[in-house]
Structure 1
């Protein structure tokens, strides 16, 4: 098995519904000695690129369109290349296009140079993720699973070859994923988690967007109890 996983943890601030939160973000680098895919580049492009080293970045995958996953996406995709044609493609699910546009629109409003502001407003992801889509890196395949709830376009990524589920902010250890305990659509998120976990091997590793890793079995055993969270929110 040539493909391996490396983790970089960065911290920063993200704004959600006009509230600022401190967020710790897990970035995953999947690949071999020559090529990698970066999942959720987070806040620290320098830390991520240092870990990547001389390897070529084949794609940057954002598991949702929230700020803490987009903040370093372009810097990591560029990897020091001035010519945009040499940048790695950035991938996002189309259902999070509004979050993308909100984020880069905000950057555009803060930009003094009008040409740079126009460029930011016109930015789009290079790849629109689709349920069942597959990326290949080294001897591993990364299959995209659409898991809406945390955001409309949240995705999780399964790789049987490296024995891992990258759950993004759909699922964290011991709870549904969230920023500051806030949920966009918890019922939909719980449905996504249940559908995601049920068919998977119980010993499969789960690497979340924040916090420590867990397993499918551990979270599947907890899943039903989380329904109380949705009931509390309805009340």
Structure 2
């Protein structure tokens, strides 16, 4: 069995996200998991150049989007291409099928703004290369990345667990001290809270949580807070 050679690099980017006609300034954590040769990129956002600078000369083997909101999709093509002109050499892009509508909406908007009809049609017909499924596993540099479907923030939100690295990449499902959100807006908070509870309960309390926004935390710290978040849903703060 191979030794675990993987390490985690983090890139923080900032940009604007429009949600229901409201614009929010969002800081995003991108995680690059791999060794000196190959990596998987989790949630590139806002600034493809910054992400690719951190990737360096390493080969991008896959790009995982933990949800289909626009800031998670805005750089996926550039990062998947990683400077390769031939699309046959691009890394596969992975998204849960529950966010297919978000994907189609985003690339449909790009197609409407495209003057070249051939390019517009290519954008309209674009699909993820991999549909993520609960329990699906990626392998990189001797470590496994397991997909857990956590609907609520979006229908297709997922988290990624690596037992070998001792981390949970929680995307925008879970942030430090609160359920994940964009600008404090929740799509389906009750479902999101149920997903968080089911996610955290069986995991080791000392497992590191690396969220899509903000500072890292641990499973134990967030599990202890989880029951208090029910008041958010009771107060009607979820949409």
TM-score bracket for the superposition, by shorter chain length: over 0.9
CA distance in 2, matches of 1:110, 1:41: 23
> Paired residue for 2:87, among 84, 90, 106?
84
Note the alpha carbon deviations across 1:185-232, whole angstroms, 9 max, x for none.
Answer: 000000000000000000100000000000000000000000000000
> Paired residue for 1:169, among 169, 172, 182?
172
1:204 aligns with 2:207: yes
Name the SS of the counterpart of 2:215 in structure 1.
coil
Moved >3 Å (runs of 4+): none
Match of 1:111 in 2: 114
C-alpha displacement of 1:174:
0.3
Q: TM-score, normalised by structure 2?
A: 0.97
Matches within 5 A, 1:99-178: 99-178=102-181
C-alpha displacement of 1:152:
0.1
What's the C-alpha RMSD, in Å, of the aligned pairs? Answer: 0.9
1:66 aligns with 2:101: no
Name the SS of the counterpart of 2:53 in structure 1.
helix
Name the SS of the counterpart of 1:202 in structure 2.
coil
Give the count of matched residue pairs: 235
Match of 1:191 in 2: 194
CA distance in 1, matches of 2:123, 2:14: 24
Gaps of 5+ in 2: none
CA distance in 2, matches of 1:25, 1:31: 20
CA distance in 2, matches of 1:62, 1:217: 25
CA distance in 1, matches of 2:113, 2:186: 28
Note the alpha carbon deviations across 1:125-170, whole angstroms, 9 max, x for none.
Answer: 0000000000000011000000000000000000001000000000
Match of 1:57 in 2: 60
Q: TM-score, normalised by structure 1?
A: 0.99
CA distance in 1, matches of 2:9, 2:55: 9
Match of 1:181 in 2: 184
C-alpha change, 1:233 and 1:102, in structure 2 (3 Å) is same
Gaps of 5+ in 1: none
CA distance in 2, matches of 1:225, 1:61: 31
